[in-house]
Chain A
């Protein structure tokens, strides 16, 4: 490619423009990219810009007052409920992420290192439950934890309880269990991929040099699989922090998350600008948490490796 772009010196500007198009990799590449980039500009950059703008407007019955105002942001910080729910959501999603990744790691490790044949079968086995509709998977936990649900009926049949336990459903713990279940596959697959990529001779070398299995894991396997762990954490944390389906099905009043608040601003509460402001603040907070997390994992990596 490089040779063809430098051989012919062009004099005529008309020809050179055509030639530039044919030979310049950047121009051809971006031409090919342009439909995708255009779609994303239209469907992503513009909406986010509009969201940002709207967060500075004020709701006036069914219309907006379109002059710049900080009212929504002031509202957010004056009414502690929004901030509290945002922090609670981040804490809940953080715990879900931690639990999901910790539970997924040994499973991914098992498939990557202990299974010699038919790894694909194991991977398919893990993804099969996730072909069920997301909504029905969440509903399944209502079935597990509900008043006449699986756990209560089971415990009753076994004689451990005489009356169904009512505290199982409609609380933050139910939301977190359901989320940890719903996103399990998203944690296993990236961790598996990063473990699978590790050069086995590195592990043998560490063992040959006299390190025991645990030290080998901490100093070689774990740091090398960190990209997978990071990807898994983000893949679970980002969608769960904004989820409103799970909290509204199994969370009850005490289990609501920031997604429910945003949804209500665009529904019953009908205050789009405030909803937009809450979204902007949530997005910035989530971005901050992610940066902190990435910074933390990077320094961990440098310390160990």
Chain B
């Protein structure tokens, strides 16, 4: 912190930061609160503490099925979009390409089109081709949406990459695949992990594309959307939301711990 602050200017910024954090945290903190409230109406005053919504959550097959669907779609999307992003990032950082700028803008288009328009365009195409809607169509649309994110994360990791490392491996007689596996991959790995996490998260929470492009198999956001219309279902949804929040907190903390450990290892081994 800045020590030379004159007495007449207290740290307004710190005050502002606290107010700002209150604004972004406050509404969200009420969600877990109501997941422990014994009234089935989401309104004040609070009644008493209960865990029954967590019991209801575990015993709701449709909710768990939606959760499982979202995890399945998320995993496939994470892998597909990370591979597509990796290929694009590799090509864009490794080679001097004519038309590089236009290629990047083209891949970024999903980010600059409102999602609803992306969703209906795909819906029209898919229905014109007579392809049945399923979790696969949802996964396809999510992969499109996630590829630019994957590419951006991986480009930023690869930009500092020293091409001479790869050339050295090739000169030493490794073939292209082994060079990738033993030289490129370990260096890019943190970027790949970040990309997998990010794309999984985006897909897991994506509602608009899933809403238009799924049939009877609901993903979790679709399940949440439909239960928001039935007040009695909401407390269990809040219980699930709070559980997911806690789990993601641990996953992110674990990832951060891994990252720090990675940095420590890199610095001790002199890389």
Chain A residues with a Cβ under 8 A of chain B: 1, 25-26, 28-30, 32-33, 35-37, 39-40, 43-44, 46-48, 50-51, 54, 103, 106-107, 109-111, 114-116, 120, 124-126, 128-129, 131-137, 139-141, 143-144, 146-150, 152-153, 181, 184-185, 234, 238-239, 241-245, 249, 259, 262-263, 266, 272, 275-276, 279, 282-283, 286, 290
Contacts and interface: CB of A to CB of B under 8 A. Distances in A.
Given A126-B21, A249-B228, A133 B205 contact: yes
Contacts, number: 221
Which label, helix, strand, loop or mixed, suits the secondary structure of the A interface?
helix
Contacts of A150: 27, 30, 44
Contacts of A185: 24
Interface stretch (B54-62, B91-99, B181-189): B91-99
Interface of B: 1-2, 11, 13-14, 16-17, 20-21, 23-28, 30-31, 34, 41-45, 83-85, 87-88, 90-92, 94-98, 103, 106-107, 109-118, 120-125, 128, 140-141, 143-144, 147, 151, 201, 205, 207-208, 212, 220-221, 224-225, 228, 234, 237-238, 241, 244-245, 248-249, 252, 256
The 10 closest A-B pairs by CB, nearest first: A242-B114, A148-B43, A29-B95, A47-B121, A153-B44, A32-B91, A140-B27, A25-B95, A51-B121, A110-B13
A253 to B, nearest CB: 17
Contact of A242 (B44, B92, B115): B115
Given A135-B207, A135-B228, A141-B27, 13 more contacts: A26-B95, A29-B92, A33-B92, A35-B83, A48-B121, A128-B25, A131-B245, A133-B241, A136-B31, A136-B237, A139-B228, A181-B24, A259-B114
A272 to B, nearest CB: 7
Nearest to A135: B224
Nearest to A114: B13
Contacts of A111: 17
A272 B30 CA distance: 39
Contacts of B23: 103, 181, 184
Contact of B112 (A48, A128, A234): A234
Given A25-B96, A143-B34, A32 B147 contact: no
Contacts of B128: 50
Contact of A47 (B30, B111, B125): B125
A185 to B, nearest CB: 8
A131 B248 contact: yes
B221 A135 contact: yes
B137 to A, nearest CB: 10
A245 B208 contact: yes
Contacts of A128: 25, 249
A241 B17 CA distance: 27
Contacts of B95: 25-26, 28-29, 32
Given A44-B109, A143-B34, A132 B114 contact: no
A110 B221 contact: no
A102 B154 CA distance: 30
A33 B124 contact: no
Nearest to A153: B44
Given A36-B85, A124-B252, A184-B24, A25 B147 contact: no
B117 A129 contact: no
Given A25-B97, A50-B125, A131-B245, A33 B103 contact: yes
A25 B124 CA distance: 38
B31 A140 contact: yes
Contacts of A1: 96
A266 B120 contact: yes
Contacts of B208: 244-245
Contacts of A249: 228
Contacts of A148: 41, 43-44
Contacts of A126: 21, 24
Contacts of B42: 143
Contacts of A114: 1-2, 11, 13-14
A36 B88 contact: yes
19 contacts: A28-B91, A29-B92, A32-B87, A32-B94, A40-B109, A44-B118, A51-B121, A110-B14, A133-B241, A135-B207, A140-B27, A140-B28, A143-B34, A181-B23, A184-B24, A245-B208, A272-B124, A276-B124, A290-B112
B144 A35 contact: no
Given A51-B124, A134-B221, A266-B212, A282 B114 contact: yes
Contact of A107 (B17, B83, B84, B238): B17
A164 to B, nearest CB: 10
B121 A238 contact: no
B43 A149 contact: yes
Contacts of A32: 87-88, 90-91, 94-95
